[in-house]
Structure 1
C-alpha cells in the first residue's frame, strides 16, 4: 500500500535514529566505563605510592592495617617473589551494611619490601560505579532523548515538508484536471524547490508535445473520414443510378443492391470509428446537467417511424427523473445506441420497456434469440447475432462514453426472454 512522502521519510528517519542511537549508546557506555576504571585505577596507584611512603616512614602503618578499616587497605606479610611489586586490578562485590546490598569495588593488589627487607602484600579497595544502575539510567535517558528527537523530527517534517511539497500537490491537482485539447487547463506552479521547477518545466513541454500530436491526429482523422465519405457517397449515388437502369436483369439488380448495402455499412462504420476516436481523444469535454428522461422521450419520437414499421410497442414508466452531468451530444449518442439496438434486435410485434428512476434507466426489449455474453458485448466488432447490417460498434461506443464518466455504469441481464440494459448512476 502506497504511503505519503512524509510518512515514508519519517519511517526511515525513526528507524535510522534508533539504530544510530543504539550503536552510539553501546560505544558511549564502553568508552565511559573504560574512562571511569582508568581514573579509579590511577587513584588506586597514587594511593599505593602514598601508603608505601608512609610505611617506610612509620613501620606501625604495616602492623596497624592487617584488616580493612577506615583507610580501606590491608597489609599482609608474604613470602618474597620477583613480581611482588606488580599491580593487579580486580573487581569484587562487597556487602555494605548501610545499603544492605552488595556494592561493586575496584581492588588493587600489589606488594613491597620494608626497610628490614621483609615482603608485604598491599591490597587497596575503593567503591566504583554500579554498572547495572548506570546502564538502566543511561537507557532511560536515551529513550527519553530518542522520543524527544523523533517527535521533534516529525513535527519539523510536518511543517517543512508540507510547505515544500505544496507546489507538487498543486501540480498533481492541475494534472488531474488537465484534458486533451485544453492546454490552458494545466497551469504550472511556481516553486522555490529546484526539482519541482524542473518537473513543471518538463510537464509543460510534454503537454505541448502531446497537444501538437493530438491536433495532428485529430486533423488526420477528420480529413481521412472526409476523404472516405466522399468516394463512398459518390459510389452509392452511382449504385442508385444503376439500380434504376432497366438494362439489368433481376439477378444483377440484386447484386447491385447488396453492393449498395455494403457501401452503406462502410459509411456507418466510418462514422462509428470516427466517433470512437473523438470520444477517446477527449473532444467532448463540455458537460452540463442532462435530463435523461426528456432526452429519451425525444429520441423515441424521432425513432417512432422505425419501431412503428416493425410493429414494436414502446412503454414508458416514470419513477423518478434521471439527472447526470454529461456532454449533450454524447448523452444523445449513448441513449440513441441503446434504443436503436432495442428496436433492431427486437422480434416483430415485440415490446420495449423503458423505466426511469432517479438512479437507473432500464431499457428492455424482447429477444430474437438467446442471452448475450456479458464479457464480450461491449467489445469492438463483437456481434451478438449474425447480422450483416451491424458493424459491432454500437455498444462499444456506449462503453467508451461511460468510461469518461466514472459515476455512470451499464449492466446487462437476460430476464424472461428479454435483453435488459441498466444505465446506473453511482
Structure 2
C-alpha cells in the first residue's frame, strides 16, 4: 500500500470516532441548554401561579395564549413529605386542542397555603422532539464527517505530494539505475535537510556499488585472461598423451573425461571474458545486421545439433528485420536465446520464433514458470541441464543493456516466452 493511501486510511479511522464523539457531545450540550431554558420558563410560570393561589387571585385559564399547562392537586402532609420539593423531568402530555400527545418539559413543586394545606403544582410546557433532533444531528454529523474527511484528505494529498516530490524523483532515479551504466547524478533539488541527507546517502551507496562493480569486472576479465594460457597448456598435454602414448582403455576413458571437462571450463572462461568485454564496451563496431537471416541460420544449426530430441521449430517473420549492432553480439544474442530454448524444451516439444514489430520472441514448451527476477542472473539455472553453463541468458541481458534493448520473460501457462524489443 502506498504511503499516501495509508495516511488517508488512518485519517479516516481517526476522524470517525472523533466526529462521533463530537456528535454525542453536541447533542447532550444542546439538550442540556434547551432544558435549562425550559426549566427557567417553567420556574417563572410556577411562581406566578403560586403567588396567585396564595393571594387568592384568579388563576390563568387554559388556552389563554400560552403553550403552558398546569394542574394543582391537594396532598396530605405525609405524602407531601415523601415527595421531592421540586422536580424537573420529560414526559408526554396530552394536548386537548390538538387531541394528541406531545413531548413536554414538566416541573412539579410542593407548596403550602395560608391555612397550612399542602398542594402539588405540576407545570408543563411543550418542548422539542428529541428523536427528530437526534436524527437531524446524526444526519449532519455524517455529512460533516464526509465533507471534513474529503477536505482533509484532499489537502493532505496535495501537501504530501508537493512535499514528497524530491523523494519520488529519487525513487524514479533508483528504478532506472543499473550498475556499470552511465546515469544522471542523484537528484537533490530540495532544501529539505532529510531529503538532502537521503540523496547524499544514495549517492554514497551508488559510488560504492560502481566501485565494486568495476573491481568485479576487472577481476573477472583478468582472471579469465590469465586462465587462457594454462587451460590451453592442459588441453595440449591431454591431446599429447592421447596421441603420443599408448594408454590402456581405462586410462584413455579417463583422459577423454578430463578433456570434456576441460573443454567445458574453456567455454565457460570464454563466456566470462565475453561478458567482461561487453560490460567494458569493447564492441564499438556496428553494421546493418539482418536478424531474420541470422535466426534462420541458427535454427538450422540447432536442428542439426538437437535432431535426436525431435524438437519442431517454426519461424515467423513479418518482413525485413534489420538492426544496427555489432555482428558478433547479434550472433551471441540470437544463438544463446535459441540454444536456451532447444536445451530446455522436452523431447518432441516445440520452439516458436517470431520477428515482428521490432521484437524478437523465442518461445518453447515448458509447464513450470521460472523466477522472472533471477532468470537473467549469471549462473542461475531454474532447471539444471547438461551442457548449460548458466551464462547464456546473462549474455542476452548484457547485450540488451549494451544497446538499450528491452529484454523480458513471461510464462503463458504452457510456454516460456523470451522477448527482445528494439526501441
For normalisation by structure 2, the TM-score amounts to 0.70
**Alpha-carbon distance between aligned partners in 2 of 1:199 and 1:264, rounded to the nearest angstrom:** 49
1:23 to 21, 24, 29: 21
Structure 2 counterpart SS, 1:13: helix
Report deviation, 1:90.
2.6
1:379 aligned residue: 381
Report deviation, 1:113.
1.3
Task: Give per-residue Cα distances to partners, 1:90-133, cap 9 Å, x unaligned.
Answer: 32222446767532111111221111222222121222232122
Task: Give per-residue Cα distances to partners, 1:49-79, cap 9 Å, x unaligned.
Answer: 34333433x2134xx4697865633333332
**Alpha-carbon distance between aligned partners in 2 of 1:76 and 1:46, rounded to the nearest angstrom:** 19
Structure 2 counterpart SS, 1:60: coil
**Alpha-carbon distance between aligned partners in 1 of 2:411 and 2:82, rounded to the nearest angstrom:** 100
Task: Give per-residue Cα distances to partners, 1:138-169, cap 9 Å, x unaligned.
Answer: 22332332232123223323422221222222
Instruction: List alignment gaps of at least 5 residues for structure 2.
Output: 308-312, 344-350
Superposition pairs of residues 11-410 of structure 1, within 5 angstroms: 11-56=9-54, 58-61=55-58, 64=59, 70=66, 72-81=69-78, 82-83=81-82, 86-96=85-95, 101-182=100-181, 184-237=183-236, 248-249=245-246, 258=256, 262-275=261-274, 293-294=290-291, 296-297=293-294, 300=297, 319-322=318-321, 330-337=329-336, 357-358=355-356, 379=381, 382-383=384-385, 390=387, 392-393=389-390, 395=392, 397=394, 407-409=407-409
Structure 2 counterpart SS, 1:122: strand
Contact 2:284/2:326, CA 8 A, preserved across alignment = yes
**RMSD (Å) for aligned C-alpha atoms:** 5.1
Task: Give per-residue Cα distances to partners, 1:26-68, cap 9 Å, x unaligned.
Answer: 1221233123323322433343334333433x2134xx46978
**Alpha-carbon distance between aligned partners in 2 of 1:136 and 1:183, rounded to the nearest angstrom:** 66
For normalisation by structure 1, the TM-score amounts to 0.69
Report deviation, 1:13.
1.7
Contact 2:107/2:122, CA 8 A, preserved across alignment = yes
Contact 1:73/1:124, CA 8 A, preserved across alignment = yes
**Alpha-carbon distance between aligned partners in 1 of 2:117 and 2:366, rounded to the nearest angstrom:** 117
Task: Give per-residue Cα distances to partners, 1:161-213, cap 9 Å, x unaligned.
Answer: 22122222211211111110136445223234444333322222221222222
Mark the CA change 1:190 to 1:113 in structure 2 (over 3 Å): closer, same or farther.
same
**Alpha-carbon distance between aligned partners in 2 of 1:50 and 1:257, rounded to the nearest angstrom:** 129
Structure 1 counterpart SS, 2:320: coil
Contact 1:76/1:122, CA 8 A, preserved across alignment = yes
Mark the CA change 1:421 to 1:36 in structure 2 (over 3 Å): closer, same or farther.
closer
